[in-house]
Amino acid sequence: MTELTRRAALRCTITGLGLCALPLAGGLAPAQAALKPEEEQAVRKAERYLNRISTLRSRFVQISSNGAYAEGEVVVRRPGRLRFEYDPPHPVLLIADGTNLLYYDKELKQASFIPLWETPLWFLIRKKVELSDNVEVTQIRRATGTLRMTLQESGGGDAGAVTLVFSDRPFALRKWEVIDAQGVTTQVALINPQFDIEVDDDVFDYGDLDTHGLQRKLDRR
Whole-number pLDDT of residue 34: 76
Query: CA 53 to CA 43: how far, in whole Å?
Result: 16
Are 82 and 95 in contact by the 8 Å Cβ rule? The answer is: yes
Indicate the domain borders of the chain.
3-218
Residue 49 — φ and ψ, nearest 5°?
Answer: -65, -50
Whole-number pLDDT of residue 43: 92
Whole-number pLDDT of residue 178: 86
Are 125 and 76 in contact by the 8 Å Cβ rule? The answer is: yes
Nearest to 14 by CA among 109, 81, 114: 114
Q: Does domain 3-218 have CATH number 2.50.20.10?
A: yes
Provide the residue-wise pLDDT of the chain in tens; the chain has 221 residues.
444 344 444 445 555 555 543 332 223 334 455 788 898 999 999 999 999 999 999 999 999 998 889 999 999 999 889 998 999 998 889 998 888 888 888 888 888 888 877 665 676 788 888 887 667 888 899 988 999 999 887 655 555 678 999 998 899 999 999 887 778 889 999 999 999 999 988 888 877 764 344 444 434 33
Query: What dihedral do alpha carbons 51, 53, 56, 60 form, nearest 10°?
Result: -60
Sheet strand arrangement including 55-64? 135-143, 146-153, 161-167, 172-179, 185-195, 55-64, 69-77, 81-86, 92-97, 100-105, 110-115, 215-218
Q: In terms of DSSP bridges, do strands 110-115 and 215-218 run parallel, antiparallel, or are they unpaired?
A: parallel
Whole-number pLDDT of residue 146: 93
Query: What dihedral do alpha carbons 154, 156, 157, 163 form, nearest 10°?
Result: -80
Helix runs in 82-146, H state only: 122-125
